[in-house]
């Protein structure tokens, strides 16, 4: 028996490679935060396992995708649970990767010699978000479909190659069955492969440079000569660290399973169901970006959709080289700490704002403080009756910010014809527009456009009226 153990140990390199790996001493002075990295890897394995079982029943075609989800939910043994764990596990993974990253940011763990560990970590974050993005379309429900339509819009802002990127992404010029198989292949093959590679690389790098440990314990600038942990008790990868991870993972997994059991994973109507008032909503971890987009419109849209996200990713990647000092303690890095905190507060704020997007709309209407002529007044009436405020503000008031502020139309020098054309068929002007078509008669279109063209608050003062007054203004003028 002993000899068999020796044989295997020798042949698989236990003594030479695996044993030192398992019993490696680690700094233990970060407490439970050190388990975050392992938690990310473990929850990824849960996603891989549940994903594999889901794939056995899932069918990536527009005709059957939605039905196969229903089948998984209603007929497959434990199917509802399977989908639930995959869904909530994905959310947990995004949170864990984000918190792991934030911890390493605030403890300065990304500094030399761990720059590359950090960069691979950023790539892992991006892959995680890629999983979320591609997985979102697979149920092929309304939410999935529209979120993809909206995001496919985004590369369109890039000059010259934007359209090309959209085509590559969608496999054509609109979301179709080709998009679905494409996303499925990426979600099932490309991303898991990349992720596996990155995790191995990340762990390898963590091991060769050692864990960074708590900056408050080690003097700043202390390098490898202090690699030996200061704490008296030995803290090794196995068994001390792994058992700590096991406890933390048991907690995370229980939460995910409880959510899967008690909270229902949303599945809306099948994609393509006709619903004019459907409002696209992204998955919660993209909400802040979605919300950011609504602050920019027209030619500045590219700032929200491209410049800020791409700049943010670039800054994240370059982080280790942006700060030259080797200080790691929070108190020694006031600027980095302040900027990091501000970003997190900003993201949380935008997320809350995004979910609060269900706030009331259309109760008040900002209008120019002057007599409206007949056409303008009846345009106001159409505006109210057709609930344009559901998506549009006027001069920052009265509506929601799904679409651009209509007070910007004069500034953008829109003509009446352009506005009419847009409102009648938005997609004919901007291919990926999410604005519904409005089947209005010529007269209503003209007055609506005329009304929008009065919304020029440089030359007029603004007056706020309520819904009833708006309808009265229109009615009153018509009697003249
Ligand atoms: C479901 C949300 C939604 C509703 C409802 C909606 N819009 Fe829009 N609208 C948008 C969005 C989003 C855009 C920005 C471009 C796009 O479609 O993605 C937009 C763009 C516009 C534009 C900009 C055109 C330009 O040239 O920049 C005008 C004008 C407009 N809408 C008018 C209206 C009017 C008038 C109504 C009511 C009859 C209305 N919208 C209802 C979402 C909506």
One domain, residues 278 and 303: yes
Q: Is the CB of 389 under 6 A from ligand 1?
A: no
Q: Is the CB of 437 under 6 A from ligand 1?
A: no
Alpha carbon of 290 to ligand 1 centroid (Å): 16
In this prediction, residue 471 carries a pLDDT of 84
Question: Residue of the nearest CA to atom 7 in ligand 1?
Answer: 435
Question: Residue of the nearest CA to atom 8 in ligand 1?
Answer: 435
In a domain, 158, yes or no: yes
Q: Is the CB of 388 under 6 A from ligand 1?
A: yes
* Final residue of a structural domain among 357, 389, 408: 357
CATH number for the domain spanning 463: value is 2.60.40.420
In a domain, 18, yes or no: no
In a domain, 424, yes or no: yes
Whether residue 461 has pLDDT greater than 60: yes
Whether residue 109 has pLDDT greater than 70: yes
Cis before 239 (ω within 30): yes
**Do 427 and 356 meet the contact criterion of CB atoms below 8 Å apart?**
no
φ and ψ at residue 437, rounded to 5 degrees: -75, 145
Alpha carbon of 404 to ligand 1 centroid (Å): 7
In a domain, 237, yes or no: no
Q: Mean per-residue pLDDT for 177-193?
A: 96
Whether residue 478 has pLDDT greater than 50: no
**pLDDT-derived band at 275, boundaries 50, 70, 90:** low
Query: What atom of ligand 1 comes closest to residue 418's alpha carbon?
Result: 26
One domain, residues 410 and 343: no
- Quote the CA–CA distance of 239 and 6 in Å, as a whole number: 21
Q: Mean per-residue pLDDT for 292-309?
A: 77
Percent of the chain at pLDDT > 90 equals: 48
* Final residue of a structural domain among 357, 377, 393: 357
In this prediction, residue 3 carries a pLDDT of 86
One domain, residues 405 and 464: yes
In a domain, 315, yes or no: yes
Q: Is the CB of 386 under 6 A from ligand 1?
A: yes
Return all residues near 34 (Cβ < 8 A) that are at least 6 apart.
26, 27, 28, 211, 241, 244
Reported pTM: 0.73
- Quote the CA–CA distance of 169 and 162 in Å, as a whole number: 11
* Domain with 264 in it: 43-222+249-357
Q: Token digits for 413?
A: 């020098």
Q: Mean per-residue pLDDT for 184-197?
A: 97
One domain, residues 74 and 142: yes
One domain, residues 300 and 412: no
Return all residues near 304 (Cβ < 8 A) that are at least 6 apart.
292, 293, 294, 295, 296
In this prediction, residue 276 carries a pLDDT of 53
Alpha carbon of 475 to ligand 1 centroid (Å): 25
Q: Number of structural domains, the chain?
A: 2
Question: Residue of the nearest CA to atom 17 in ligand 1?
Answer: 433
Q: Is the CB of 470 under 6 A from ligand 1?
A: no
Whether residue 279 has pLDDT greater than 50: yes
**pLDDT-derived band at 251, boundaries 50, 70, 90:** very high
User: What confidence tens digit (pLDDT) does each residue in 9-63 have?
Assistant: 888 988 888 888 888 888 877 788 889 999 999 999 999 999 999 999 999 999 9
Q: What angle do CA 330, 334, 338 make, to 5 degrees?
A: 100
* Final residue of a structural domain among 357, 379, 414: 357
Whether residue 219 has pLDDT greater than 90: no
Q: Is the CB of 409 under 6 A from ligand 1?
A: yes
**Do 85 and 256 meet the contact criterion of CB atoms below 8 Å apart?**
yes
- Quote the CA–CA distance of 287 and 384 in Å, as a whole number: 28
Tell me which of 294, 392, 399, 445 to substitute to probe ligand 1's pocket, judged by most ligand atoms within 8 Å of the beta carbon.
392
Q: Is the CB of 293 under 6 A from ligand 1?
A: no
Q: Is the CB of 474 under 6 A from ligand 1?
A: no
One domain, residues 288 and 161: yes
Q: Which of 31, 300, 266 is nearest to 143 (CA)?
A: 266
Range with the lowest mean pLDDT among 55-69, 164-178, 289-303? Answer: 289-303
Range with the lowest mean pLDDT among 44-48, 222-226, 242-246, 274-278? Answer: 222-226
Query: What atom of ligand 1 comes closest to residue 150's alpha carbon?
Result: 18
Q: What is the mean pLDDT of the chain?
A: 86
Q: Is the CB of 423 under 6 A from ligand 1?
A: yes
- Pairing label, strands 462-466, 364-368: antiparallel
In a domain, 391, yes or no: yes
Q: Token digits for 363?
A: 């109760």
Question: Residue of the nearest CA to atom 13 in ligand 1?
Answer: 403
**pLDDT-derived band at 479, boundaries 50, 70, 90:** very low
Which residue(s) pair with 236 in the sheet? Answer: 25
Q: Is the CB of 192 under 6 A from ligand 1?
A: no
In this prediction, residue 225 carries a pLDDT of 45
Whether residue 397 has pLDDT greater than 90: no
Q: Token digits for 349?
A: 């704020």
Q: Mean per-residue pLDDT for 225-229?
A: 48
In a domain, 240, yes or no: no
Alpha carbon of 129 to ligand 1 centroid (Å): 29
Q: Mean per-residue pLDDT for 305-323?
A: 90
One domain, residues 377 and 473: yes
| Helix pair angle (115-137, 142-153), 10° resolution | 130
One domain, residues 368 and 349: no
Q: Mean per-residue pLDDT for 283-300?
A: 78
One domain, residues 161 and 98: yes
Alpha carbon of 105 to ligand 1 centroid (Å): 40
| Helix pair angle (35-57, 191-209), 10° resolution | 160
Residue 266 carries which DSSP code? P
**For residue 109, how many other CB atoms are within 10 A of its CB?**
23
Alpha carbon of 362 to ligand 1 centroid (Å): 15
Q: What is the CA radius of gyration of the chain?
A: 28
Whether residue 316 has pLDDT greater than 80: yes
Q: Is the CB of 235 under 6 A from ligand 1?
A: no
Percent of the chain at pLDDT > 70 equals: 91
Tell me which of 293, 389, 391 to substitute to probe ligand 1's pocket, judged by most ligand atoms within 8 Å of the beta carbon.
391
One domain, residues 198 and 259: yes
One domain, residues 331 and 373: no
In a domain, 142, yes or no: yes
Query: What atom of ligand 1 comes closest to residue 390's alpha carbon?
Result: 5
CATH number for the domain spanning 140: value is 1.20.810.10
One domain, residues 106 and 63: yes
**pLDDT-derived band at 163, boundaries 50, 70, 90:** confident
Which residue(s) pair with 141 in the sheet? Answer: 270
Alpha carbon of 216 to ligand 1 centroid (Å): 53
């Amino acid at each position: 028996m002993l000899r068999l153990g020796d044989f295997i140990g020798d042949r698989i390199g236990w003594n030479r490679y695996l044993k030192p790996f398992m019993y490696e001493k680690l700094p233990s002075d970060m407490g439970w935060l050190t388990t975050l990295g392992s938690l990310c890897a473990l929850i990824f394995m849960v996603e891989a396992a549940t994903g594999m079982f889901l794939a056995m029943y899932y069918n990536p075609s527009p005709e059957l995708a939605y039905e196969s989800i229903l089948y998984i939910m209603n007929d497959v043994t434990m199917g509802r649970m399977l989908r639930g764990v995959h869904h909530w596990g994905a959310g947990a993974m995004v949170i864990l990767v984000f918190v792991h990253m934030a911890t390493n940011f605030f403890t300065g763990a990304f500094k030399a010699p761990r720059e590359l560990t950090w960069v691979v970590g950023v790539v892992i974050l991006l892959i995680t978000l890629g999983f979320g993005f591609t997985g979102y379309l697979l149920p092929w429900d309304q939410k999935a479909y529209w979120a993809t339509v909206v995001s496919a819009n985004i590369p369109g802002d890039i000059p010259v190659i934007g359209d090309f990127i959209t085509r590559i992404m969608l496999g054509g010029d609109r979301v179709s069955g080709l998009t679905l198989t494409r996303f499925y292949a990426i979600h099932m093959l490309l991303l898991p492969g990349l992720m596996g590679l990155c995790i191995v690389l990340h762990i390898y790098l963590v091991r060769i440079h050692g864990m960074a440990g708590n900056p408050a314990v080690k003097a700043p600038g202390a390098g490898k000569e202090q690699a030996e942990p200061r704490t008296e008790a030995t803290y090794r990868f196995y068994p001390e660290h792994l058992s700590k991870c096991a406890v933390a993972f048991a907690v995370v997994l229980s939460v995910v399973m409880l959510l899967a059991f008690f909270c229902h994973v949303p599945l809306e109507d099948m994609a393509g169901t006709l619903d004019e008032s459907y409002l696209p909503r992204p998955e919660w971890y993209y909400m802040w970006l979605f919300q950011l987009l609504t602050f920019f419109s027209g030619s500045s849209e590219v700032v929200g959709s491209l410049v800020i996200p791409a700049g943010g990713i670039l800054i994240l990647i370059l982080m280790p080289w942006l700060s030259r000092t080797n200080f790691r303690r929070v108190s020694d890095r006031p600027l980095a700490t302040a900027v990091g905190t501000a970003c997190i507060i900003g993201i949380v704020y935008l997320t809350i704002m995004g979910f609060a997007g269900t706030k009331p709309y259309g109760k008040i209407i900002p209008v120019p403080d002057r007599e409206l002529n007949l056409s303008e007044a009846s345009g106001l009436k159409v505006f109210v009756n057709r609930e344009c405020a559901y998506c549009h503000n006027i001069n920052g008031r009265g509506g929601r910010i799904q679409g651009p502020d209509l007070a910007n139309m004069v500034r953008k020098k829109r003509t009446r014809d352009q506005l009419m054309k847009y409102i009648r068929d938005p997609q004919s002007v901007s291919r990926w527009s999410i604005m519904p078509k409005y089947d209005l008669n010529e007269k209503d279109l003209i007055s609506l456009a005329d009304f929008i063209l009065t919304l020029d608050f440089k030359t007029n003062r603004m007056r706020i009226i309520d819904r009833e007054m708006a309808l009265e203004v229109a009615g009153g003028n018509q009697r003249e």
